[in-house]
Structure 1
Amino acid sequence: MKKLEKLSENAYYTAVELGDLNDLKNYALIHPVNKQVIEGKVFLKDATKATGTEISFNALPPRSEQPYFHIHRKNEETYIILKGYGFFQVDDDCFSIKEGSVIRVSPQGKRGIRNESDESMIYMVIQSKENSLEEHTTADGERVPVEPKWR
């Protein structure tokens, strides 16, 4: 089972190396509730010491589907399809997805995903507490003087 590699860290950040997205199938985790081994999935919250989001990268094998539909109690999820194509279903609505599709689902939406392609579908899921974002984009930013080290 592949492990995330820590690149760098200090009090203000943690950087990890996920590796080539085509190698996501080498990650696995044991589901905390049903103890099932889930291959092709890696969570980043603990590895990056995130406090406001959970991000996962996922590889769904060719012509397969997530083996369950699910909801959340508090967190919305945003799915970003990076490679492959297939279907996404929320409640009774089923629609086509492909590379570049982005789907936000509220906690109560019963969601599931299917890969119709002949290669692994690669997607990222960003999970955060619904209605928790108070400021965003430029409203929360401030420019500061820093001399770039890459120059």
Structure 2
Amino acid sequence: MSNYKIVSTKNEPRVELKEALNLSGCELSINEFGANVSVPFVHSHKQNEEVYLVLEGGGVLFIDGEEVEVKKGDAIRIDPAGKRCFKTGSNGMKYICIQAKKDSLEQFTMSDGVINEDVKPSWL
């Protein structure tokens, strides 16, 4: 059994990758909306925080009663209880959304990563 999985994403308005990649610690989606389109509901979560990475375009994030402009290059972290909704601007918006259980990350790259000296790719 291999230690990785690669899938090609489709050019669709929403691509969910949890099942396609067999993700067990987070949920990942790629979302694209045309100009001046709104997500049709405000939502929050029971336990998952979300991170949004705006790849193209921009718009307005409604969060807990506030409206905040977001644009290409922005990274936004929202607590599970945050009541959120997006509306795109005149150029639409493409973003990645990552969900994970709040406070579940026990280690990250600096404490979890291990350098393996026993194998090397052809370019090293």
Runs of 4 or more above 3 Å deviation: none
Partner secondary structure for residue 50 of structure 2: strand
In the alignment, is residue 132 of structure 1 matched against residue 104 of structure 2?
A: yes
Higher helix share: 1
- Residues 91-120 of structure 1 show CA distances to partners (whole Å, capped at 9, x for unaligned) of 1121110001111111111001111123x3
Aligned counterpart in structure 1 of residue 79 of structure 2, from 102, 106, 120: 106
Identity in percent: 36
Structure 2 residue identity aligned to 1:141: G
Aligned to 2:20, the other structure's residue is in SS state helix
CA distance in 1, matches of 2:74, 2:53: 6
TM-score norm. by structure 1 comes to 0.76
Work out which of the residue numbers 71, 75, 81 in structure 1 matches 2:54. Answer: 81
Q: Tell whether 2:20 aligns with 1:66.
A: no
| TM norm structure 2 | 0.92
Equivalent of residue 17 in structure 1, options 4, 8, 23: 8
The runs of 5 or more residues in structure 1 that have no matched partner are 1-9, 28-39
State the secondary structure of the residue aligned to 1:107.
Answer: coil
What is the Cα deviation at residue 150 of structure 1? 5.8
Q: Tell me if 1:51 matches 2:42.
A: no
Task: For residue 137 of structure 1, report the CA deviation from its aligned partner.
Answer: 2.2
- Tell me whether 1:123 sits opposite 2:73 in the alignment: no
Distance in 2, matches of 1:122 and 1:115, equals 9
- Greater RCO, CA 8 A, separation 6+: 2
Residues 41 and 104 of structure 1: CA distance in aligned 2, closer, same or farther (over 3 Å): same
